[in-house]
Structure 1
C-alpha cells in the first residue's frame, strides 16, 4: 500500500509512511483525515485482499459492491456512481513482442471529494507512470482527484496505442511472409496473433462507451478547464479502437489469403504429380505391351526393334514434358 498527499495549488507531494502492513490502512486514514483545505490523497494498492480493503472501506465510505469488484477483479470496463464516490474499472494492457502475446490486467479507481484509491491487478502499473506525469506537470493537480483519473486513463490509453503499433508491425511481417515467393506456412502464427488481437479488442472496445458516457454524459460534471484534457484522452482511445478494428479485419484477410495460398500450393503439387504420372504412363504402356510375351509381335525379330521402342518412349515422354512445361504444370 502506498499513499501520496498532493497540494492542488502548488503541486507539492509528500509520501505517507504506511509503516507495517497491519497498520498501513490506519496510517493512511489518519493522514487523509488531517488533510488541509487544498490537499487530496492518492492511495495505491496492488492486488489487495479483502482484509486489506476492510479498513479503507470503513474509513473512506467505499461501497461494498465496488470493493468486491476491486478485490475479485475480472470485471468489464465500467463506471458506477455511489453518492459522492465515483468508481471506474478498466483493463490495462501491454504487448510482449518476444512471445507475440498480449497481456492484460485490471485497475479500479475510486474518486472521492478529497481522495483517490487505485487498485491494480496484473503486471502493468499505470499508476507509477501516472504519478511521474503528475510530477512533471503539477499544474494539472489543480483539478484535484480528477487529475489522477485523467493521468491514469492517459497512461492506459497510451499503452493501448503502443501495443497497437507493435501488433501492426507484427502483422506487416506476416503479410510479407504470406505474399513472398517462398512457401512459408504461417497459418499458426496468424491465428495466434488473431487470438491476441481479440483479447486486445475485448479490452479496448468496452471502454469506448464508458469513456464517452463518463466524459460527455450529463451524470458527471468535470471542471471546465479539465474537459480538453479528457477529450484528448477520449480521442486517442477512439483512434486506437479504430486501429484495433482494422487490425482484426486485416488479420481475417491475411488468414484467408494464407489459406488460399495453401490451396494453390496443393493444386500446384497435384498438377505436377499428374503431369509426371502422364509422362511415365507412356513408357509404362509400351513396356507393358512388349512384356506380354506373345510370339507374333511387331519388330520382335528386327535388330533395331529395341532401340526403336526405347526411342519412341523417350520421344513421346519428351513431347509430353514440353507440353506440360508450356502449360505451367511443370
Structure 2
C-alpha cells in the first residue's frame, strides 16, 4: 500500500499529518472535534482489515475495496458509507480512454479515499479544500462531494477526446476510407464503458441527498451542480453512442457497396472474356473444317476416288468454303461472332 497523504483536520484546518495508519487513530483521539482524511493507493486485503479494526469499517466494505472492479454504487453500513466511483481519462497519444476506480469510505470522523488506478490524483482536490476551511469543516461528507465533483469534472476532457475521434471516423467514412469497422467498434466499447460509469450517478446523488440534514443547503446545491454535470455527460455519451451506431451502419453499407462494385466489375470482365472465347472458338471451328478437308485430299493415295476426277479440286475447294460459310452463319446467328 502507498500512503498518498494523511491528515487530521479540526474546523477545516490541518492540525496533524500522521506518517502511517497506525499513527492516525492516536492523532484523531487527541483531537475530539476533528476528522481524519486518508488517501491510499491500492491497499491489499491485510492493510484494509487493519483499517477496519482501527476505524470500525464494515467487513463487506473491506471485501469490496479489496476486490476492486465494482460497479458505481452508494451503500450505507450503519454510520459508515461506501461510495464506488469510476474515473476516466483520455490518453491522447494512444487515442483511448483509460478507466479507473475510486472507493470513498466515510464515517462520522473518517474519510478514506482508495485509488485502484493511476488517475485521478486528488492532491489538487485536497489543496482546494484546505484553501476553503469552511467547506472542509463540514467533515468527511465534504471530502466525498469534492472527490465526486473531481471525477465528474474529469469526464469532460474524455468526452472531448471521444468527439474528436468520432469526427475523424466520419471524415474517413466519406472520403473513401471505408475500412473503419474495428475502430468504430473499439470506440463503441469505450462509450458503453463510459455510460456504465456515469449512468448510476444520478441515483447515487439522490441517495446522498436523502442522508443530508434539512439545513444542509450548500451541500444540496453542490450535489445539484454535480447532478447537472452528470446529466449533460450522460446525454452526450448517449448521442455519441447513436452516432457510432449510425457510423457502423453507414460503414457496412459502404463496404457492401464497394464489394458489389468489385463483384460487378469481375462479372463484366468474365463476360467479356467469355465473349472473346466464343469468337476465338468460332473462328477455330471455321478454320478447322477446311483444314480437315484439305488434309484428306492431301493424302495422295492412288486409290482415292477423286484423285483422277476432273472436278475433284474444285469440289474440295467448294466443300471447304461451304463448311466454313455454314459454320460462320450458325455462329453469327447465335451472336458468337
TM-score (norm 1): 0.81
Shift of residue 116, structure 1, vs aligned partner? 0.8
Question: SS state of the match for residue 54, structure 2?
Answer: helix
Partner of 1:326: none
Question: C-alpha offsets along residues 52-78 of structure 1, whole Å, 9 cap, x if unaligned?
Answer: 223321222111111221122121111
Paired residue for 2:213? 221
Q: Describe the SS at the equivalent of 1:129.
A: helix
Please report how far the alpha carbon of residue 101 of structure 1 lies from its aligned counterpart in structure 2 after TM superposition: 2.7
Query: What's the secondary structure of 2:6's corresponding residue?
Result: strand
Determine if contact 1:133/1:151 at 8 Å carries over to the other structure.
no
Deviation at 1:178, TM superposition (A): 0.9
Equivalent residue of 2:179, what SS?
Answer: coil
Contact 1:129 1:155 in 2 (8 A): no
Query: Conserved in 2, the CA contact under 8 Å of 1:212 and 1:234?
Result: no
What residue in structure 1 maps to residue 154 of structure 2? Answer: 159
Contact 1:3/1:44, CA 8 A, preserved across alignment: yes
Return closer, same or farther for 1:299/1:59 CA change in 2, 3 Å cut-off. Answer: same
* Aligned residue number for residue 252 of structure 1: 245
2:198 maps to 204
Separation in 1, partners of 2:159, 2:30? 44
Q: Does 1:34 align with 2:30?
A: yes
2:141 to 141, 146, 151: 146
Structure 1's unaligned 5+ residue stretches are 19-23, 317-330
* Structure 2 counterpart of 1:285: 278
Deviation at 1:224, TM superposition (A): 1.3
CA–CA distance in structure 2, aligned partners of residues 204 and 7 of structure 1: 33
- Mapped partners of 2:258, 2:131: distance in 1: 57
Partner of residue 294, structure 2: none
1:78 aligns with 2:70: no
Question: Structure 2 CA distance, aligned partners of 1:183 and 1:242?
Answer: 29
Q: Across the two proteins, how many residue pairs are aligned to each other?
A: 295
> Aligned-pair distance for 1:46?
0.9
Determine which of 191, 195, 198 is the counterpart of 2:185: 191
- 1:233 lines up with 2:226 in the alignment: yes
Of the three residues 110, 117, 120, the one matched with 1:122 is: 117
Structure 1 residue 3 displacement after superposition = 0.8
